[in-house]
Amino acid sequence: MANPDTLRLVRRVQTLTIAWMSVEAALSIWSAWKAHSPVLVAFGGDSAIELLSAVVVLRRFRRPESERAEKGAARIAGGLLFLLAACVLVVSAMSLLGYGEPQPSYLGMAVLAAATVIMPWLGNVKRRLSAATGSAALRADAAESLICFYLSIIALVGLTVHALWHIEWADPAAAVAITPLIVFEGRETMRGRACGSC
């Protein structure tokens, strides 16, 4: 069992994650709606899923220690990773099939740029805390933070390529490329062996 200071730090990190993910999800989805951007829809969906995961993990660490709560939280976090993969594939397929004409979004690009700084820091802190607590659910949440970082880079590159060279398929094609990593992390989390690549 982790010491009280570590548990307090976990709760603080999860609270910070919830605050940032709320802002990130809201601004990404708003930007996606204004710009008709599929990659921002996928990123906003990722942000909303990570927000849910952070809430689940925070609830797990506010309850008394129990193996059952840990397994349940890990299953939910793993399921959210599968949901994220499905979201990315659907939105990317719609874009590749020509539904909608995305416009550049400077607010979206600013949110993505901020995520490239904040998410790896959160992911690395959660990964260290998961080792200290032995929590597969927290490792899954760390994986989601790092996947959010990868998606933010891919989305930012996609939006930039689209804005500069008007190559519309760049962002959804790049988002599809990360889907196997998301599925792998979801599978490992469901087995209680997260996190394989974070």
pLDDT tens, 133-150? 888 888 888 988 888 898
The token duo for 186 is 């979801």
pLDDT tens, 60-97? 888 755 667 667 777 777 788 788 788 888 888 887 88
Q: What is the overall mean pLDDT for the chain?
A: 84
Report the pLDDT value the prediction gives residue 197, as an integer from 0 to 100.
Answer: 46
Report, as an integer, the average pLDDT of 155-177: 83
pLDDT tens, 170-196? 778 877 877 887 788 778 777 765 444
Task: Give the pLDDT band of residue 126 (cuts 50, 70, 90).
Answer: very high
Report the pLDDT value the prediction gives residue 144, as an integer from 0 to 100.
Answer: 82
Least confident of 38-52, 53-67, 98-112: 53-67
Distance CA 179, CA 185 (A): 10
Report the pLDDT value the prediction gives residue 42, as an integer from 0 to 100.
Answer: 79
The structural domains of the chain, with segments of one domain joined by +, span 4-190
Report the pLDDT value the prediction gives residue 100, as an integer from 0 to 100.
Answer: 63
Of 152 and 196, the one with more pLDDT: 152
CATH architecture of 4-190: Up-down Bundle (1.20)
Least confident of 47-61, 86-100, 123-137: 86-100
